[in-house]
């Protein structure tokens, strides 16, 4: 007999994180299946908390960044979550309803059900780039599914974390939703959660998986990667520039689904550069203004400078689209394009995660798709074309976590389709109904029919059972 796996357990809490975990576990055991009205009440509380504290949340995020566009915070992080709450609230009764499934013909008078049940305690690990959106998104799914949540934000988001710790304690109590300032990543992921939702780099995702494996804890990983953009010959180039550069340079390029590199028809690169200068200068005439976000910290600023210098040293052409100087004090990094990068450059080996856009050219769409397919599967892929045949070719000859056609990143904001990666860009998905399912146990339940002869299958076996096998097989049951 195989030896049972010894999972981690917590009997006597030695830290704040362990204390809160035990508090939530006790509350879960008292109410393992919160009713519809209780879940709606929690979603309403969350909505009110965000609405009542919009300015404080915006200020806390700006303080963590040094400077963060208030409009981008309100539209992308706060409104994005408010919209998700309202969608979950609208559909929750349907989501919670047990699903009837057909029975096998031999048990036709029986009954099959799938009951979505709360998993329990959900651990949520969130990076600094969209700390509210990427922590509240899983919280919304978790509360809708009847779970409780513990949240770890990045060290760069401590102003926000301190604020949300206070607000959630006042709004829910620590036994329902708790943010944990100061907890280490290793301590957090070692807790015996019932599911972990983690957003971050691929390397840190591997560490989370290893730690979760000690508890046989399922994980949802959103890991980013190098998301490509392909602009096709038929699409209006100026409009493509306006659209893709918005999603590239919002939050100063510090977005997991930002366009990471761009493929253009060979004869359109120079024209695109001119359009890009015009568009970016129009939007950010001075990168020290209120609309342009700072790079999160000095280390990241230096990494981006080193990445740009590496590309220039190896022969690429770097174009400062606004002509503004680098502002190291405010960590304002002007939007750049790097033309004709090569695979030996750091910029084509690692996710850029900043306001630098590599631009490559292609002679045929197959050339671009081959390049994409030779690399890790990205979190997102974007194609600009009105030609449906080319759209289908790109969709069915590549693989990515998600796709937006004729814009970038907007698939993430659709409540009725899931968000997540594939391969190196992630595991699992959340948002909307799929997020509800991800954080639920779909529990199969079979009720044996009142009419039936189960003893037909019982030993001692005889020739009758041999004939039974033959008959059942012939009937194709």
CB atoms within 10 A of CB 232: 20
pLDDT at 14: 77
Q: What is the DSSP code (8-state) at residue 201?
A: -
462 found inside a domain = no
Verify that 217 and 296 share a domain, yes or no: no
Prediction pTM value: 0.94
In 305-350, beta strands by DSSP E = 317-320, 336-339
Task: Give pLDDT tens digits for 314-330.
Answer: 999 999 999 999 999 99
Verify that 247 and 346 share a domain, yes or no: yes
- Asked if pLDDT for residue 134 goes beyond 80, the answer is yes
Kindly tell me the burial class for residue 460, based on how many C-beta atoms sit within 10 Å of its own C-beta (0-12, 13-18, 19 or more): exposed
| Preceding amide of 460 cis, omega within 30 | yes
Query: Which H/E stretch holds residue 358?
Result: strand 356-362
Side by side, the strands of the sheet bearing 99-101 are 99-101, 111-118, 440-447
Give me the count of residues in the chain: 477
> Could you tell me which of 367, 40, 95 has the C-alpha nearest to residue 230?
367
Cα separation, 204 vs 16, in Å, equals 23
User: Is 318 in contact with 352 (CB distance < 8 Å)?
Assistant: no
**Tokens 């990515």 identify what position?**
400
- Asked if pLDDT for residue 3 goes beyond 60, the answer is no
- Asked if pLDDT for residue 4 goes beyond 50, the answer is no
Verify that 147 and 254 share a domain, yes or no: no
Summary mean pLDDT of the chain: 95
Query: Which H/E stretch holds residue 44?
Result: helix 36-52
Q: What is the CA radius of gyration of the chain?
A: 26
pLDDT at 10: 58
CB atoms within 10 A of CB 33: 12
Verify that 288 and 218 share a domain, yes or no: no
Verify that 45 and 157 share a domain, yes or no: yes
pLDDT at 419: 97
Domain that holds residue 333: 228-414
Residue of 161, 168, 256, 408 with catalytic role: 256
- Asked if pLDDT for residue 470 goes beyond 80, the answer is yes
Verify that 280 and 206 share a domain, yes or no: no
143 found inside a domain = yes
Supply the CATH number for residue 299's domain.
3.40.309.10
How many domains is the chain built from? 2
Q: SS3 of 74, please?
A: helix
Verify that 244 and 313 share a domain, yes or no: yes
Tell me the mean pLDDT in the region 402-414. 98
CA-based torsion, 201, 206, 211, 214: positive or negative = positive
Cα separation, 69 vs 16, in Å, equals 33
**Tokens 């100061």 identify what position?**
182
259 found inside a domain = yes
Verify that 155 and 285 share a domain, yes or no: no
Q: SS3 of 181, please?
A: coil
Verify that 170 and 244 share a domain, yes or no: no
Task: Give pLDDT tens digits for 346-361.
Answer: 999 999 999 999 999 9
Q: Is 222 a catalytic residue?
A: yes
Residue of 174, 222, 351, 438 with catalytic role: 222
Burial 12-23 (b: 16+ CB within 10 A, else e): eeeeebbebbbb
342 found inside a domain = yes
**Tokens 């568009």 identify what position?**
279
Verify that 318 and 395 share a domain, yes or no: yes
Percent of the chain scored above 90 by pLDDT? 88
Q: What Å distances lie between residue 356 and 86, 308, 321, 461, CA to CA?
A: 35, 8, 10, 73
Alpha helices in 214-268 (DSSP H): 237-249
Verify that 121 and 204 share a domain, yes or no: yes
* Both tokens assigned to 160: 């926000």
Cα separation, 257 vs 265, in Å, equals 23
The pair phi, psi for residue 127, each rounded to 5°, is -80, 180
Q: What Å distances lie between residue 280 and 204, 244, 321, CA to CA?
A: 33, 11, 7
Q: Is 149 a catalytic residue?
A: no
- Asked if pLDDT for residue 104 goes beyond 70, the answer is yes
User: Is 338 in contact with 317 (CB distance < 8 Å)?
Assistant: yes
Verify that 30 and 136 share a domain, yes or no: yes
Cα separation, 420 vs 412, in Å, equals 9
Residue 8: pLDDT band by 50, 70, 90 thresholds? low
Tell me the mean pLDDT in the region 396-422. 98
10 found inside a domain = no
Lowest mean pLDDT among 112-126, 405-419, 441-455: 441-455
pLDDT at 101: 95
Kindly tell me the burial class for residue 204, based on how many C-beta atoms sit within 10 Å of its own C-beta (0-12, 13-18, 19 or more): middle
More confident residue, 189 or 461: 189
User: Is 377 in contact with 386 (CB distance < 8 Å)?
Assistant: no
* Both tokens assigned to 191: 């807790």
9 found inside a domain = no
345 found inside a domain = yes
Beta bridge partners of 444: 114
452 found inside a domain = no
More confident residue, 112 or 109: 112
Supply the CATH number for residue 189's domain.
3.40.605.10
Strands 99-101 and 111-118: antiparallel
């Amino acid at each position: 007999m195989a030896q049972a796996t010894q999972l981690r357990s917590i009997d006597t809490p030695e830290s704040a994180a362990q204390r809160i975990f035990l508090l939530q576990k006790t509350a879960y055991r008292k109410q393992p299946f919160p009713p519809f009205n209780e879940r709606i009440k929690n979603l309403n509380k969350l909505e009110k908390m965000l609405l009542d504290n919009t300015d404080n949340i915006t200020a806390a995020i700006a303080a963590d960044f040094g400077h963060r566009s208030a409009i981008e915070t309100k539209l992308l992080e706060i409104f994005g979550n408010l919209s998700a709450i309202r969608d979950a609230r609208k559909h929750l009764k349907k989501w919670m309803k047990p699903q009837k499934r057909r029975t096998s013909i031999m048990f036709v008078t029986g009954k099959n059900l799938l009951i979505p049940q709360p998993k329990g305690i959900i651990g949520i690990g969130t990076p600094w780039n969209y700390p509210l959106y990427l922590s509240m998104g899983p919280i919304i799914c978790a509360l809708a599914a009847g779970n409780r949540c513990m949240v770890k934000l990045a060290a760069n988001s401590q102003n926000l974390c301190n604020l949300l710790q206070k607000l959630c304690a006042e709004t829910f109590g620590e036994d329902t939703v708790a943010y944990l300032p100061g907890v280490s990543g290793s301590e957090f992921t070692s807790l015996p959660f019932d599911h972990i939702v983690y957003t971050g780099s691929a390397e840190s995702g591997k560490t989370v998986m290893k730690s979760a494996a000690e508890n046989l804890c399922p994980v949802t990983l959103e890991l980013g990667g190098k998301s490509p953009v392909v602009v096709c010959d038929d699409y209006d180039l100026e409009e493509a520039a306006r659209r893709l550069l918005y999603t590239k340079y919002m939050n100063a390029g510090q977005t997991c689904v930002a366009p990471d590199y761009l493929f253009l028809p060979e004869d359109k690169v120079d024209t695109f550069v001119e359009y890009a200068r015009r568009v970016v200068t129009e939007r950010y005439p001075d990168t020290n203004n209120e609309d342009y976000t700072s790079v999160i910290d000095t280390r990241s600023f230096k990494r981006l400078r080193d990445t740009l210098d590496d590309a220039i040293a190896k022969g690429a052409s770097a174009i400062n689209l606004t002509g503004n100087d680098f502002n190291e004090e405010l960590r304002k990094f002007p939007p750049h394009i790097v033309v004709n990068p090569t695979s030996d450059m750091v910029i084509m080996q690692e996710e850029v995660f900043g306001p630098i856009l590599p631009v490559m050219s292609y002679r045929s769409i197959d050339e671009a798709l081959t390049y994409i397919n030779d690399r890790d599967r990205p979190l997102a892929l974007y194609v600009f074309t009105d030609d449906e045949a080319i759209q289908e070719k790109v969709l069915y000859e590549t693989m990515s976590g998600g796709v937006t056609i004729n814009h970038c990143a907007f698939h993430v904001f659709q409540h009725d389709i899931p968000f997540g990666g594939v391969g190196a860009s992630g595991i699992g998905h959340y948002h909307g109904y799929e997020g509800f399912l991800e954080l639920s146990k779909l529990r199969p339940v079979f009720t044996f029919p009142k009419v039936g002869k189960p003893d037909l299958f019982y030993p001692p076996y005889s020739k009758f059972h041999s004939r039974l096998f033959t008959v059942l097989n012939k009937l194709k049951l």
